[in-house]
Chain A
Amino acid sequence: MTLSPQLEARFQKILSSYPRGRERSAVIPMLMYAQDEIGSITQELIEEVAHRTGIKPLQVDEVIGYYSMMHRKPLGKYHVQVCTNISCLLVGGEELYHHACKKLGIGHKEVTEDGLFSVEEVECMGACSWAPAIQVNYDFHHFVTPERFDKLIDELRKTRGLE
């Protein structure tokens, strides 16, 4: 599998972070950083990570099903994660999630036809004191209102147009 120079450098950094003989610790970080670049976790990636860490592809595979941030299918370019857990719920997180689905025309873990957006109802993301909160990919947005949400989505659509 050919990796970009950046990802190759990241893999090297990750692998060097653990004691010799403990390369298996690199599995989850490698999958996470690779997924960010490739868009999802492919069979090819599983075999590459298994090869580099000296374990069986099945041992990599069984990890993927466990973690909620690992995906076997590509998400949207902008993955919109809306928290509806208790602190967000109390200030309208659930309504915000329904609003997000309506605005984007998709449901939980679905992707828009143009591949630009996906939406996910997520568990607590650690923004409780600044609720309701969402994450778009790794970026946090706090005190989100439906109006601010719409503005953000419209801006992201425009950004795409300029690329």
Chain B
Amino acid sequence: MPLYNEPNPLEVRILSKRFSLPNSASIDTYLATEGYQAWRKAIGMTQDAIINEVKASNLRGRGGAGFPTGLKWSFVPRNSPKPKYIMVNADESEPGTCKDRLLIEYDPHQLIEGMMIAGLAVGSQAGYVYIRGEYRYLIDIMERAIDEAYERGYLGDNIQGTGFTFHVRAHTGAGAYECGEESALMESFEGKRGVPRIRPPFPAVAGVYQCPTVLNNVETFCSVPSIILMGGANWAGLGTPKNGGTRLFCLSGHINKPGVYELPMGFNLLRMINEVGGGMRDGKKLKAVIPGGSSCPVLKADECDVAMDYDSVAAIKSMLGSGGVVVMDEDTCMVKAAQRIMKFYAHESCGWCIPCREGTTWLKKMLDRFHAGGGRREEIQMIGDLSKNILGRTFCPLGDAAAMPTISFVEKFYDDFAAHLDGKPCPYEAKSRLVTA
């Protein structure tokens, strides 16, 4: 399989090290390149030793929230009489994010091995990979990898005579952003509408079928084999303090070389755009960047000299999120960007909480009207105020995810909103962005 984009010399390819190999998804390639060696090492370790190694790695959840993975695993009550489950969130649907696709397409066994090690750490014998419905081809790839692992004795009962039993199945979603939220994902997995559950209890205590569950993003599980092989401290050393390792950044928008690149945590955002992403398209000036998927507050160009780790991006009041870096040039209408993002949240709100269901719909209507030139100056403030009334008032983070970027668009790009008032057409409109060559 050809790669989607050329690798960049600045990349540190740990999770993506097999992507360029022929038949990288096959178990033969995997076994020939240290595959299932981390599991072999882990089988000789105690549960606490595995969890401590993951803690030492400073691995933080790659789905977006950035919660320390080792700590999450330590919350699972190991003496619970209930079965325990390993659940992979492969419902990748945060706008701007397209990395989990590659991890499954090119290296599904790395994911299986990560799940097995999590299984060892918490005493689980079964794992599921919840894959978004649109990724059917990945479900096929995942199922082939699972079949191979069973055939070669890396999944099943008493694996390789070690006494360890572990089973994995792929599970398809059916099109719903909300199901990427952990509690809605589990509702959906149980065959219901994907509405969020009230927490606590958290999945570690009462997750799938009300049993203790380790629920992590694809990339989080994929990081685990390298952590066990390299040692947690070495893996942590690839990144910045409290932000261990590398991560897959998805560069999109107005740059010359969009693509998915594996870079150390803490890599500078401007360098990412200019040296990895090939700089701005058509020599245009940088206007704004969404640093981690559409839920993250937008950054102005002068805020982009920042280290891309959870803490540094949080310090400038945005989020590292899911690694989706969306780059916008000077010709981008920020009202349009805010409108399109809100249209998404209004469509994807599950309707369970009123502030989110009604708030996103009202905001979408207002932003539609604004972009069409029907706004009034006193209403600019109202967009931000409405958003603030959603913040913190919903069961799940979808409400916040809709509100936070909108607040930032209004606050940081007030002039763009002010340029759309009283029947004036969008000043950016005539500039079609479609490449026709």
Contacts and interface: CB of A to CB of B under 8 A. Distances in A.
Contact of B134 (A95, A125, A130): A125
A128 B324 contact: yes
A152 to B, nearest CB: 15
A86 B132 contact: no
A28 B133 CA distance: 10
Contacts, number: 166
Contacts of B97: 124, 126, 128
Interface residues of A, number: 51
B188 interface: yes
B190 A85 contact: no
Contacts of A70: 174-175
Nearest to A139: B137
Interface in A1-54: 17-19, 22, 24-29, 31-33, 53
B137 A138 contact: yes
Contact of B190 (A25, A32, A129): A25
Given A63-B193, A126-B135, A130-B4, A95 B95 contact: no
Contacts of A86: 95-96, 290, 294, 326, 337, 340-341, 344
A100 to B, nearest CB: 12
Contacts of A106: none
A87 B252 contact: yes
A26 B191 contact: yes
B98 A129 contact: yes
Interface in B267-290: 290
Chain B interface residue number, banded: 35 or more
Interface in B398-420: none
B170 to A, nearest CB: 8
Contact of B169 (A17, A84, A96, A139): A17
Interface string A117-140: 000000111111111100100111
Nearest to A84: B340
Contacts of A126: 92-93, 97-98, 100-101, 132, 134-135
13 contacts: A18-B169, A22-B209, A28-B172, A68-B174, A86-B95, A87-B253, A91-B435, A96-B434, A128-B98, A129-B98, A130-B4, A130-B98, A139-B137
